[in-house]
């Protein structure tokens, strides 16, 4: 049995399809209101804030994937993520289950220095501090030998379907809708974006590779990075139309944050858009050389085609 905690999101759905396609049909989906992805999926309704419910949901699982996401709300993150991580670790320890944790890069330094699996955490802001806390909680248990686990870390998303990210919202979705894209802070800073289906497929592969455990892995991205200006040029080629863009300065987000809570929550992340973002996934590429990574050109074309 392989169990997905936090079923329902874009990454979890892609993971569930990939597990069924290439690894196992014995899959359990756990969330408050889980829905089938494959006909054979077992559905379990559980609140991961409830320790006993989490233990019951994990029972009988060989591998557990923690993919839960929360709205961009710092208070909610502080309230829920540490408890969910603690409950998941305890449940996996009780049932001798392996844990695969889907993580992000918020805790990394806000610099143009390349990010590797060994990059030290330097969290700035409430959300980054929470992400550092839960990652360190799991790393401590891993290093002490109290759990067999692996961390799969991904940079900002872009992709099809329900993919949610700033780049999808202000760049690709606007282009697809015939609107002018809005570039945060700097159109010439290189970006590291991960195609969401690649993230899901790579996580399934890592979870079913025994010697991958006990480590952190950066999930695969196209290492030929582009800046937003170049991405918009590709979109223009794909759509066959001229596409201009507007670069939005930091002060506009500050003003917008006074009126819109969602914009205010995004402010913590904005310094990452001022300079190059260099997420290095060469470790994965070296270990899994046959994995096909979606290029930015292919991904942008597919997003704009509505795939």
- Identify the burial level of 141 via C-beta atoms within 10 angstroms of its C-beta, where 0-12 means exposed, 13-18 middle and 19 or more buried: buried
| The token pair that represents 123 in the structure block | 């969290």
How high is the pLDDT of residue 258?
Answer: 61
Contact between residue 219 and residue 153 where contact means Cβ atoms under 8 Å apart: yes
Beta strand residue intervals within the chain, DSSP E:
2-5, 27-31, 42-45, 63-66, 98-103, 149-153, 156-158, 182-184, 190-191, 193-195, 216-218, 226-227, 246-248
How high is the pLDDT of residue 161?
Answer: 78
How high is the pLDDT of residue 162?
Answer: 77
Strand partners, 247: 183
How high is the pLDDT of residue 252?
Answer: 79
Strand partners, 248: 184
How high is the pLDDT of residue 164?
Answer: 83
Strand partners, 28: 3, 42
How high is the pLDDT of residue 181?
Answer: 95
Q: Split the chain (307 residues) into runs of 10 and give each run's mean pLDDT.
A: 94 97 97 94 97 98 96 94 98 98 97 97 96 98 98 95 86 93 95 97 98 98 96 95 92 70 77 94 98 96 86
Phi, psi at 142, each rounded to 5° = -65, -45
């Amino acid at each position: 049995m392989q169990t997905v905690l936090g079923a329902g999101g874009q990454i979890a759905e892609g993971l569930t399809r990939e597990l069924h396609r290439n690894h196992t049909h014995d899959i359990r989906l756990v969330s408050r209101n889980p829905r089938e992805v494959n006909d054979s999926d077992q559905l379990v309704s559980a609140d991961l804030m409830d320790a006993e419910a989490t233990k019951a949901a994990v029972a009988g699982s060989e591998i557990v994937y923690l993919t839960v996401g929360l709205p961009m709300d710092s208070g909610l993150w502080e309230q829920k993520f540490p408890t969910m991580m603690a409950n998941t670790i305890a449940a996996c320890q009780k049932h001798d289950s392996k844990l695969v944790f889907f993580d992000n890069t918020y805790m990394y330094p806000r610099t143009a220095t390349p990010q590797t699996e060994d990059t030290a955490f330097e969290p700035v802001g409430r959300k980054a501090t929470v992400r550092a806390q839960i990652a360190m909680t799991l790393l401590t248990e891993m290093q002490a030998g109290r759990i067999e686990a692996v961390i799969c870390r991904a940079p900002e998303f872009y992709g099809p379907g329900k993919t949610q990210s700033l780049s999808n919202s202000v760049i690709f979705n606007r282009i697809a809708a015939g609107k002018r894209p809005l570039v945060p802070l700097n159109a010439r800073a290189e970006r590291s974006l991960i195609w969401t289906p690649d993230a899901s497929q790579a996580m399934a592969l890592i979870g079913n590779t025994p010697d991958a455990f006990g480590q952190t892995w950066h999930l695969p991205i196209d290492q030929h990075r582009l800046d937003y200006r170049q991405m918009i040029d590709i979109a223009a080629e794909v759509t066959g139309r001229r596409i201009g863009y507007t670069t939005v300065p930091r002060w506009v987000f500050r003003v917008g944050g006074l009126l819109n809570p969602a914009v205010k929550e995004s402010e913590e992340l904005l310094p990452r858009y001022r300079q190059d973002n260099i997420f290095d996934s060469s470790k994965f590429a070296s270990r899994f050389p046959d994995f096909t990574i979606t290029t930015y050109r292919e991904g942008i074309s597919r997003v704009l085609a509505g795939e």
